[in-house]
């Protein structure tokens, strides 16, 4: 018996390998380890910015955004991915959610991947067709709906802020001009880092504070004045009602920015108690919040001159 060889065998539990074989095995183990990165979701969308705030803590790690098919398949081939969420409509390279479903279901390695399609609304025929061709499910194309699907819970951002975020930003861009994107990006980062409260009101007030022009600030506040109303009675927000936008804009000129916004919110709450929106009630209630009779008369006269009083 060769005791030297026996002793070597006892000391080395692994079979003998050449240097090249050991390098190759180590490389394979490293590659396999890298493939074990668990990605919760790949979101393939034409509007990645819509989801950046909701998924800020996970972005680039467990939630990845993609804007074309090449990016999607690169992620799927390099990571263990829990789900793909794709726009029903086409991405920049022409790939639609349906096309992802069809191609992935034909792939033996990826065929069982859960795939959800996103859209603002669905017809029943679209729903049946998508599920019939292999989609796992359908999800509303909103940050809160996708966050609930992926994370199982909403991020710390309030549902109300998430629901109105894009609409608020759109109005801010309309009045703030070229630098609006910089201010919006900073505001979103402040919300995510908890420097700024996650309510819609706090977000609006922060953006309003970025205006140098009082007129532009008041116009912006008028356009989003009812964005944080509960809307239980189906009251249309100022962003969708030119009459409300006009009345609120004039009111802010007489009442001032911050005080006027509070008064508008109080009037919206009063409207909610009536169960229906009536313009005469809204205008009367709002005008009574101007305690100075002269200012109240000027406000009503301005509304008549603007054609806002029927």
Query: CB-based burial of residue 182 (10 Å sphere; 0-12 exposed, 13-18 middle, 19+ buried)?
Result: exposed
Q: Do residues 101 and 130 make contact, with C-beta atoms less than 8 angstroms apart?
A: yes
Question: How large is the average pLDDT for residues 32-58?
Answer: 76
For residues 190 and 76, which has the higher predicted lDDT (pLDDT)? 76
Tokens of residue 23, six digits: 């390098």
More reliable by pLDDT, 265 or 94: 94
Tell me what pLDDT residue 53 has: 74
Predicted local distance difference test score (pLDDT) of residue 95 = 93
How high is the pLDDT of residue 204? 83
E strands present in the chain: 38-39, 41-44, 63-66, 80-81, 84-87, 115-119, 137-140
At residue 116, the pLDDT reads 92
The pLDDT, as a whole number, for residue 32 is 56
What is the structure's pLDDT at 10? Answer: 43
| HSE-CB of 266 using CA atoms within 13 angstroms | 13
Question: Cα(44)–Cα(8) distance, rounded to whole angstroms?
Answer: 55
- The listed range with the strongest mean pLDDT (45-59, 251-265, 280-294) is 280-294
The pLDDT score that the predictor gives to residue 298 is 92
Q: Taking the complete model, does pTM exceed 0.85, yes or no?
A: no
Q: What is the mean predicted confidence (pLDDT) over 138-151? A: 82
Tokens 């100075």 appear where?
Answer: 292
**Distance separating alpha carbons of residues 289 and 283, to the nearest angstrom:** 10
pLDDT tens readout for residues 162-191: 667 777 888 888 888 878 888 888 887 777
Q: How many CB atoms lie within 10 A of CB 170?
A: 14
pLDDT, tens digit, 9 for 90 and up, residues 270-292? 776 666 678 888 899 899 888 88
Say yes or no to pLDDT of 119 above 80: yes
What the chain holds in terms of domains, given with CATH numbers, is 38-151 (3.40.50.2300), 159-305 (no CATH)
Q: What percent of the chain has pLDDT over 70?
A: 74
35 vs 16: CA distance, rounded Å: 27
**Spatial distance between the Cα atoms of 138 and 128, rounded to a whole number of angstroms:** 10
Tokens of 41: 């979701």
Which residues, including other chains, have CB under 8 Å from residue 209's CB and lie 6 or more apart?
none
Distance (Å, rounded) from C-alpha 63 to C-alpha 186?
Answer: 21
> What pLDDT is recorded for position 103?
92
> Taking Cα atoms as reference points, which of 199, 207, 212 lies closest to residue 171?
207
In which band, very low, low, confident or very high, does the pLDDT at 17 lie, cut at 50, 70 and 90?
low
Report whether 80 contacts 127 (CB < 8 A): no
Phi, psi angle pair for 42, to nearest 5°: -105, 125
Least confident stretch, 25-34, 131-140, 175-184: 25-34
- Indicate the pLDDT class of residue 70, thresholds 50, 70 and 90: very high
Distances (CA, A) of 258 to 50, 116, 204, 216, 294: 28, 43, 11, 14, 20
Residue 287 to residue 293: CA distance in whole angstroms: 9
Residue 248: pLDDT above 80?
yes
CA gap 83, 101 in Å, rounded: 12
């Amino acid at each position: 018996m060769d005791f030297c060889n026996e002793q070597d065998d006892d000391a080395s539990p692994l079979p003998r390998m050449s240097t090249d074989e050991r390098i190759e095995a180590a490389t394979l183990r490293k590659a396999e380890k890298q493939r074990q990165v668990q990605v919760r979701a790949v979101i393939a969308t034409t509007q990645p910015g819509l989801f950046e705030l909701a998924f800020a803590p996970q972005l680039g790690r467990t939630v990845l955004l993609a804007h074309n098919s090449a990016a999607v398949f690169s992620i799927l081939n390099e990571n263990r991915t829990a789900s793909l969420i794709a726009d029903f409509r086409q991405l920049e390279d022409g790939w639609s959610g349906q096309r992802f479903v069809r191609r992935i279901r034909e792939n033996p390695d990826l065929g069982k991947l859960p795939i959800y399609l996103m859209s603002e609304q669905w017809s029943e025929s679209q729903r049946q067709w998508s599920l019939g061709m292999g989609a796992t499910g359908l999800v509303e194309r909103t940050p809160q709906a996708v966050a609930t699907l992926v994370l199982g819970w909403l991020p710390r951002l309030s549902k109300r802020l998430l629901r109105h975020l894009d609409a608020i930003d759109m109005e801010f861009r309309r009045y703030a001009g070229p630098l609006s994107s910089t201010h919006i990006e900073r505001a979103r980062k402040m919300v995510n880092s908890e420097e700024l409260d996650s309510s819609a009101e706090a977000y609006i007030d922060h953006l309003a504070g970025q205006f140098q022009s009082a007129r532009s600030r008041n116009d912006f506040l008028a356009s989003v004045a009812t964005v944080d109303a509960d809307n239980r009675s189906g009251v249309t927000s100022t962003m969708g009602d030119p009459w409300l936008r006009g009345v609120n804009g004039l009111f802010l000129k007489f009442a001032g920015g911050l005080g006027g916004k509070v008064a508008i919110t109080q009037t919206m709450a009063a409207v909610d108690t009536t169960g229906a929106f009536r313009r005469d009630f809204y205008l009367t209630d709002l005008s009574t919040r101007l305690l100075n009779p002269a200012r109240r008369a000027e406000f009503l006269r301005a509304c008549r001159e603007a054609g806002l009083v029927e």
